[in-house]
Amino acid sequence: MYYKYINDDFSTDVCNKIKNTPLDKFILRDPAWRRLSHSSTIKEMEAIVGVRDAKELMRRKLLMLRKFPNATRLEFSQYSLPDDLADELIDSLPGFLKELGRDEMVPILQVSTGGTMLYPHKGHYRKASIFRLLKGDKEKTTWWKNTEDFKVIDEYRIPDVKKLEVADQAELVEDKWLIFNHFEWHSVQKSNPNSLRINVGVDFNTLSAQDISNLFSKK
């Protein structure tokens, strides 16, 4: 399961509050995987992942550019919610989710600007989340599946795109909750490089997308 809409509506008031809160009130994250960026040189990569993996990453970057020749890189930022909003969001969730405890759930705000594509990637720490698009512009989210196995290099999780094929695709609907599978390869494409995409979510530290779906089915 790559994504699944949740029939129930919840947390609408707090999501609207989050949507209308200035971005400078949120805490920009600087995760360890940002040590490597799309502009990193092979020497910078070698210092972190070693010579062999650095060469492989450069090869994969070139394959990605060839597969999507007209795309420009979308800028993607993650933010933590201030404590009061994070608490309010968690407290507004259905009871069977709150029973999981705060250690399992991490609220997140994500903002995408500029460019036309967030290239195929997969989550570094999270497997799945519940996800609510607050603002979008007809972006297409695509999930990919392997046609052959290849090594996942943790520091820079880009795939060998020659060994992927499309598994599912969706134009996500604003203000509807869905279960989002971050464990599988996924990408985002849009036609307007000037548009803004904002979503709020609750990441789960251990649960998979199917686990979350099962919880909603049993409620």
201 burial via Cβ count (<10 Å: 0-12, 13-18, 19+): buried
Mean pLDDT by 10 residues, the chain (219 residues): 96 97 93 60 83 93 94 91 96 95 94 93 88 96 97 88 98 96 96 94 96 93
Sheet holding 185-189, edge to edge: 117-121, 185-189, 140-146, 164-170
The pLDDT of residue 37 is 60
The pLDDT of residue 47 is 85
The pLDDT of residue 49 is 86
Closest CA relative to residue 175, chosen from 200, 194, 196: 200
Q: What is the CA radius of gyration of the chain?
A: 18
The pLDDT of residue 137 is 94
DSSP label of 130: E
Kindly report the backbone phi and psi dihedral angles of residue 135, in degrees, each rounded to the nearest multiple of 5, phi listed first: -155, 130
Closest CA relative to residue 133, chosen from 107, 104, 111: 111
**Alpha helix segments (H runs only) across the chain:** 12-19, 42-49, 51-67, 83-91, 95-98, 209-218
